[in-house]
A = this chain, B = another copy of it.
Amino acid sequence: MIRIVDVAREAQVSVATVSRTLNNSARVDPVLAERVRAAVQKLGYRPNAVARNLRRRGTQVWALIITNLNNPFYTAVARGVEDVASELGYSVLLCNTDEDQAKQDRYLEVAAMERVAGVILAPRSDDSDVSTVQDDQIPLVVVDRALRQPVDFVTAASFEGAVLATEHLLRQGWRRPACITRPADTATAEQRRLGYEDVMRRHGLAPVVRHVGFHAGGSAEMISALLAERDAPDAFLTIDSMLALDVLGGLQRAGLHSGRDVGVISFDDASWAPVVDPPLSVIAQPAYEMGAEAARLLARRVRSEGPAEPQTMIMSTTLIVRGSCRRPKR
């Protein structure tokens, strides 16, 4: 490996001068600077970031910890984070917890040990423990799912989105919409369920709620069973696009058609939503922008800018009406 001293020797200057030219950290005689650059070129020198980080007592790396890389919502968030990060000169350590609390804890531990400059976390549960990074004063921005404790937080208006969706369903004439959601310790899912139940209550209707674990496998049976009940739901609100897929599959097996026999609406505007038949109505979240905003907020924290109190940023959701909620007159 070729070190800074090698460059210094080649350029006939001191290591300090090499360091200074490479980091523009002080004025350097243009002649020497040129010699340094030539030597760097000639030797193919590449600064050792590890040593630099040790000396600087800090890295240029962020950790982004999400629960499911297969969820297009999170990959969109990740792209938002990544774009802003690379713009600002940070690298992103992307960690996938698989909705596993233990894995999440391990990643937080790794982040702390690697002395990352900041962490963006989509927590598994609303009482996830984040003391690992907090104790080390590592800036943390929570994204998507709220934590019980006050922290910097970027999310979408889940409750309102669910209200929008449920009201749209009822407006079309569906009377027994069900809400397919995720475990109750998932903040976002819970907000959506509450929004749904709120509308149902106001309309004097009985909520029908089903919770589906993340490591599915059972949701297909659950949906088929639900469809076979005596007072089966006549519509569905699913709180993420993977659950929408499950419901669509269930309808298919039952020989039912959305936009005709049942209404379907889901959170997240997946890329396939406009292409299924009929196209799926959705509550879209600005996923990419959420990631980008979380990143910008983190950047401010890393630079210790802005107010000290935790910031919360709630981005609005959009109802996109397609065909899957239609209810023909009968």
Contact = CB atoms under 8 A, between A and B. Distances in A.
Interface of A: 1, 44, 46-51, 53-54, 57, 59, 61, 69-70, 72, 75-76, 78-79, 82, 86, 91-96, 103, 106, 109-110, 112-115, 135-136, 242, 245, 248-249, 252, 270-272, 274-277
Given A50-B50, A271-B245, A70 B59 contact: no
A91 B82 contact: no
Contacts of A76: 70
Nearest to A275: B248
A270 B252 CA distance: 17
A91 B93 contact: yes
A57 B79 CA distance: 31
Most buried by B among A47, A54, A91, A276: A91
A136 B45 CA distance: 10
Nearest to A59: B50
Nearest to A2: B136
A34 to B, nearest CB: 22
Contacts of A106: 86
A296 to B, nearest CB: 18
Contacts of A46: 109, 112-113, 136
A46 B114 CA distance: 10
Contact of A48 (B49, B93, B94, B113): B113
A53 to B, nearest CB: 5
A274 B245 CA distance: 9
A136 B48 CA distance: 12
A96 B82 contact: yes
A82 B228 CA distance: 40
A52 to B, nearest CB: 8
B44 A54 contact: no
Contact of A79 (B49, B69, B271): B69
Given A50-B50, A70-B76, A94-B94, 16 more contacts: A46-B136, A49-B114, A49-B115, A50-B114, A50-B115, A54-B54, A61-B114, A69-B82, A70-B75, A79-B96, A91-B93, A92-B93, A252-B275, A252-B277, A276-B277, A277-B277
Contacts of A94: 78, 92-94
A137 to B, nearest CB: 9
Contact of A50 (B54, B70, B93, B109): B54
A303 to B, nearest CB: 19
A110 to B, nearest CB: 6
A301 to B, nearest CB: 18
B103 A95 contact: no
Contacts of A274: 249
A72 B245 CA distance: 15
Contacts of A82: 69, 95-96
A115 B48 contact: yes
A91 B103 contact: no
Nearest to A75: B69
Nearest to A53: B50
A275 B243 CA distance: 12
Task: From A93, A110, A248, A275, name the one whose CB has the most chain B CB atoms within 10 angstroms.
Answer: A275
A126 B101 CA distance: 40
